[in-house]
Amino acid sequence: MSDSSRNTGLALGAAITAVFVGMAALAQFWTPFDPRALSIIDKLQPPGAHHWFGTDQLGRDVLSLIMLGAQTSVGVALLSVIIGVFLGVPIGLIAAARRGAADELLMRGNDLIFAFPALLLAILITAVFGPGAVNAIIAIGIFNIPVFARVTRAGALQQWTRDYTLAARVAGKGWVRISCEHILPNLVALLVVQGTIQFSLGVIAEAGLSYVGLSAQPPTPSWGRMLNEAQTLTALAPYLALFPGIAVALFVLGLNLLGEGLRRRSGSPA
Amino acid sequence: MSDAKLLEVTGLNVAFGAVRVVKDLSFELRSGEVLGLVGASGSGKTMTALGITRLLPPSAVTSGVVRINGETLSAIPESRLRAIRGRGVGMVFQEPMSALNPLMRVGDQVAETVRLHRPVSRAEARRAAREALVDVGLEQGTSDRLPYELSGGQRQRVAIAMAVVMSPGLLIADEPTTALDVIAQAQILLLLQQLVRTRNMGLILVSHDLAVVAQLADRVAVMSQGEIIEQATADEILRRPCHAYTAALLSAARLQPKPAAPLSMSARTSPPANTASMPAVLDVQGIVREYPRKRTSLWRPAPPLRAVDGVSLSVHAGETVGLVGESGSGKSSLLKAILALETSQAGEVSLLGESMLSAKGATMRRLRRAIQAVFQDPYGSFDPQWTVERLIGEPFHLLASVPSAAARRRKVAVVLEQVGLSASDAQRLPREFSGGERQRIAIARALVTEPKVIAFDEAVSALDVLIRGQVLNLLAELAQRLKLSYLFVSHDLQVMRAMADRIYVMQRGRIVEEGPTETVFASPRHAYTQALIAATPKLPVT
């Protein structure tokens, strides 16, 4: 009974994620309307046959904006996860393999980053270095580093207790090689799950940053800024806030379902 | 009372989907009687034990009739069943650590069982728990301790106390001593025997080890592939086994002592005298291995824990040297120090006349080629994602120039055949093999660099008796054919006696006795060696 429910969760999550990622990819080549074309005559049209999601105060097609916004969202979240993986995983592997002083130093450094409220520091970074997608990626990415470092370290410590690492050392391999050849491949499932979760957190963080105007700058569309702009027009055109809001919520839900489904399938603990 | 049937099992079947793990099983048990349930792993012993108390996972389909004290278990509701499980039937499992809650004082855990089954006050339950703990031979203060503060044997005593505190008529013990060393095993078996006698309980003792079962059981049922293939009194089974499988189990359990010193015909009686003139292949001098302990004082560091305290030993060409001792005696720490996997605080290891501990780079690789190791856990010893070929080929890393893919494949095929597997197994993953086959793969991996010495850390402890016999035969044959020396670490004296030319007995980090195996067995000098030998379960020789 639990088998089928986990499979539907996984399938649903994968489907939702695929729709959004597909939408982002499609927007690179085609959108129903030119999202940059302003047309004041068509402004604030409610959803209908012509403009499925309606138009905004400048007459731009909301569906096209959502599609391009997905691109920003996926791009920022993905790159920040990549930053976290590329810096955090080696830190975790080194800490687990070396233990002792190296472990202390690396993990306490991690704790230091963890000690900052993530979104506040992201705002600080983008405020100091200027708003923009690249700085948003860096700001979110920094907070992914300790997460991946911790998950990797915990998983790696468990792998190091197993006899096959002893066998590899009897075969003359050093800790770097063992970490790369044995430990890391056995952590892939764990990291994919964590990556999915961090991806969804990245989507939320990007929406938050762009809502306060610190992520991608106009004319690049983003869900957070669409929400911000829709705020003043809530009475006139509530659908303007509805669609980007649904997009963020649905995408995050899909990613979480996917992550949870993958976690259960790989059998690793939460 | 003694002629009343305590337990009656008729036509018990357990199936998971289409797989029938227990087939049409029938047996009975009287009060004060011990039934031994023996068989290889996977023969359905544990499923039978769980099936009796209906503790099987929900995916299992059971049929058949189980009667305890005349009451049919399959006919009563779960709530009544729970009462019977505690009061009518007690259970003890293999792993004493996971049977206990790590965060709860052991006395409270026993008391909890009491309160579940009898409406008594907390204080009364505690008192009953304390009594039960004393009854199983634990000291007065034990009830206030946490599981991690106790040894494996003590934990198993707590588990037994929990099982018998409600004075059940029937006790089911599933491999209760398999996770323990010989001395603890002997004590637990003695305790079970006393409990059966004083309380007139019925006991079902499930084990893969005939020698263990033979010590306690009045009757023995031998299981194979879900069926009882033979059931008779212990005496009859041991003297006149009817079934070929039983006979095979018996002969595997009765390991033959190794004939003394095949090293050299001339020096049959005194191998040390003979080998003393030759340089040892592996020579270990005064190894000290200390582990740091948690600081208890702010001002000075805690004294380190000395796991290995100045141990010296030597292994000569073609010789099998045994290292025996109970768990925690420092055997594994010593082995890791010898293999230079951990840094020793003092001492020297020389392999083929070269220092192992200070070697680096190419010298280290050359030395590592000459000494390989096989570890205990046939499941943890392999990276689950690697194919057998890649796993066995891992030590090729030690060769000066890594051989070509074709040459590697050839060499892997050769060692696979040497250990009795086939070359076509190379592309499979470790999880596709049984425990015994995995241990063969581990041996193949140790052979691939053509070493002089192989160290075995409890390499056959996790195996069934039948499989153990096969692996030991293989090892003996390989040693002779490839002129290998073995350093064989085990807590099992029977295995030692079958394998080793000379043994060292280790206790609390020190070697307390050494000598040719038969001499040590015939006249052990140290009290600890005597205790170990006395504790080893023996089958009567026919």
**B341 and A166: CB-CB below 8 Å?**
yes
Residues of chain B found within 8 Å of residue A170, distances taken between Cβ atoms: 339, 341, 368, 372-373, 395
Name, in order, each residue with C-beta under 8 angstroms of A12's C-beta and a sequence gap of 6 or more.
Answer: A254, A257
B409 band by pLDDT with thresholds 50, 70 and 90: very high
Which amino acid is residue A215, in one-letter code? S
Taking the Cβ of residue A184 and every Cβ of chain B, the question of whether any pair is shorter than 8 Å is answered with no
Q: State the average pLDDT over residues B197-214.
A: 89
Q: How far apart are CA B135 and CA B129, in angstroms?
A: 10
Query: Within chain B, what is the greatest distance between any pair of CA atoms?
Result: 76
B542 band by pLDDT with thresholds 50, 70 and 90: low
Question: Which residue in the set A164, A169, A186 is minimally distant from B381, CB to CB?
Answer: A164
What are the tens digits of pLDDT across the range B137-149? 888 888 888 888 8
- Select the residue from A164, A179, A190 to test the B interface by mutation, using most B Cβ atoms within 10 A: A164
What are the tens digits of pLDDT across the range A135-183? 889 888 998 999 999 999 999 999 998 889 988 988 888 899 999 999 9
Taking the Cβ of residue B370 and every Cβ of chain A, the question of whether any pair is shorter than 8 Å is answered with no
Taking the Cβ of residue A172 and every Cβ of chain B, the question of whether any pair is shorter than 8 Å is answered with yes
Taking the Cβ of residue B368 and every Cβ of chain A, the question of whether any pair is shorter than 8 Å is answered with yes
**A172 and B376: CB-CB below 8 Å?**
no
Taking the Cβ of residue B292 and every Cβ of chain A, the question of whether any pair is shorter than 8 Å is answered with no
Token pair listed for B23: 């087939």
Q: State the average pLDDT over residues B366-394.
A: 90
- Select the residue from B394, B397, B398, B450 to test the A interface by mutation, using most A Cβ atoms within 10 A: B394
Residue B263 phi, psi dihedral angles, 5° rounding: -60, -50
Beta carbons within 10 angstroms of residue B162's beta carbon? 26
> ipTM, 2 decimals?
0.75
Token pair listed for A43: 């402004």
Name the helix (H) or strand (E) containing B521.
helix B517-522
Chain A nearest-CA distance from B449, in A, is 9
> What is the per-residue pLDDT for A267?
64
Beta carbons within 10 angstroms of residue A242's beta carbon? 17
Taking the Cβ of residue A170 and every Cβ of chain B, the question of whether any pair is shorter than 8 Å is answered with yes
Chain B nearest-CA distance from A99, in A, is 14
In 3D space, the residue among B458, B425, B438 whose CA is nearest the CA of residue B378 turns out to be B438
Beta carbons within 10 angstroms of residue B22's beta carbon? 28
Residues of chain B found within 8 Å of residue A163, distances taken between Cβ atoms: 375-377, 380-381
Checking if the pLDDT of B85 tops 50, the result is yes
Which amino acid is residue B382, in one-letter code? F
Taking the Cβ of residue B376 and every Cβ of chain A, the question of whether any pair is shorter than 8 Å is answered with yes
Beta carbons within 10 angstroms of residue B401's beta carbon? 6
Residues of chain A found within 8 Å of residue B395, distances taken between Cβ atoms: 170-172
Chain A nearest-CA distance from B382, in A, is 5
Name the helix (H) or strand (E) containing B448.
none
Q: State the average pLDDT over residues A221-245.
A: 85
Question: Which residue in the set B336, B364, B383 is minimally distant from A182, CB to CB?
Answer: B383
Across chain A, mean pLDDT equals 86
**A172 and B373: CB-CB below 8 Å?**
no
Please tell me the pTM assigned to this model: 0.79
Residue of A nearest to B58 (CA): A1
Residues of chain B found within 8 Å of residue A164, distances taken between Cβ atoms: 380-383
What are the tens digits of pLDDT across the range B483-525? 999 999 988 888 898 899 999 999 989 999 999 999 999 999 9
Chain B nearest-CA distance from A171, in A, is 4
User: B355 has which bridge partners?
Assistant: B350
Q: How far apart are CA A189 and CA A177, in angstroms?
A: 20
Q: How far apart are CA B238 and CA B40, in angstroms?
A: 17
Q: State the average pLDDT over residues B204-224.
A: 89
Taking the Cβ of residue B375 and every Cβ of chain A, the question of whether any pair is shorter than 8 Å is answered with yes
User: B25 has which bridge partners?
Assistant: B12
Q: Percentage of residues in chain B with pLDDT exceeding 70?
A: 95
